[in-house]
Amino acid sequence: MIFDTRISELGEGPLWQAERQMLWWFDILNGRLHGQGGDGSITFEFPEMVSAMGLVNRDIAVIAGESGLWRVNLNDGGHRLFVRIEAGQPETRSNDGRADRQGGFWWGTMGMRGGEDPGKGAIWRWYRGETRRLFAGVTIPNAICFSLDGTQAYFADTVTKRVMRVGLDAEGWPHGTPVTFLDLRAEGLEPDGAVIDAEGRMWLAQWGASRVACYAPDGRFLSALPVRAPHSSCPAFGGPGLTTLYVTTARSGMTPEALAACPDAGKVFVLEGAGQGVAEAMVRLD
């Protein structure tokens, strides 16, 4: 089922805000943040590409963009850049991101040409005024999410077809060497955005596969839900009881023939039967 008819060239970063009963998501390539729900249908425009967000409170969010992190007022779309990173340059943009259980915010950067800019990106974390580049040499950062107890982080470089896992300390900083959580190379599957549900399972969008797949906490494949568009990009639980799975999709890179066959590509879809999610963590600005 289609949740919203607005078409994004590259839909990404869906996030449910319970206080407003709103789903927020991005059209990265057009610099837009869309919202739909209790406050009606909203679109905020930005001066650069934006891609992922974390809530600070009902009215304020942190949003990842080309230059770094933006502080955004969700009432009127007012925004100001408050963290500038060295990757903020015309050759790079932000991609996937999410708040961690400790109140930090993770996001990835990548080259503008995607897979044609190998190793140009990185994964970053901002926490209580400190910004660190966690992992360098990333081509397409994705699948950033966190275990329920906040002791593990997951992330992917889509071109490697693997999802990695790394331990976190009490303040949410990685420790130790990342290890492979999912190896999808044999299946030829490309990991995109991911979210963890109330049972600790990972729901992973898979680019080009028209589905969101579910994996157990030990990495076993459990099931998959079909999406009526080839490029599913990121899932998010929301709605009453967090029992609805929303999925953003993209039309970027599709041929005219493929778009004619799938005119709904780029819309947000609703999937039922995924189970129950958990509320997103909040970003700490203090």
Residues labelled catalytic = 192
Phi, psi for 268 (deg, rounded to 5)? -95, 130
Report the DSSP beta bridge partners of residue 115: none
- List own/partner pairs for 221-227 with CB under 8 A and 24 or more apart: 225/271, 225/273, 225/274, 227/269, 227/271
* Tally of CA atoms within 13 A in the half-sphere of 8 that contains its CB: 34
In whole angstroms, what is the distance from residue 34 CA to residue 27 CA?
8
Phi, psi for 202 (deg, rounded to 5)? -100, 130
Containing 257, the helix (H) or strand (E) segment is: helix 256-261
Select from 225, 266, 222, 219 the least CA-distant residue to 245.
225
Is the four-CA dihedral 41, 46, 49, 54 of positive or negative sign?
A: negative
The DSSP code for 31 is T
- Position 284: which residue type? R
> 63 with 94: CB under 8 angstroms?
no
In whole angstroms, what is the distance from residue 27 CA to residue 49 CA?
8
> 22 with 2: CB under 8 angstroms?
no
> 209 with 235: CB under 8 angstroms?
no
Q: Which two tokens stand for residue 153?
A: 């982080």
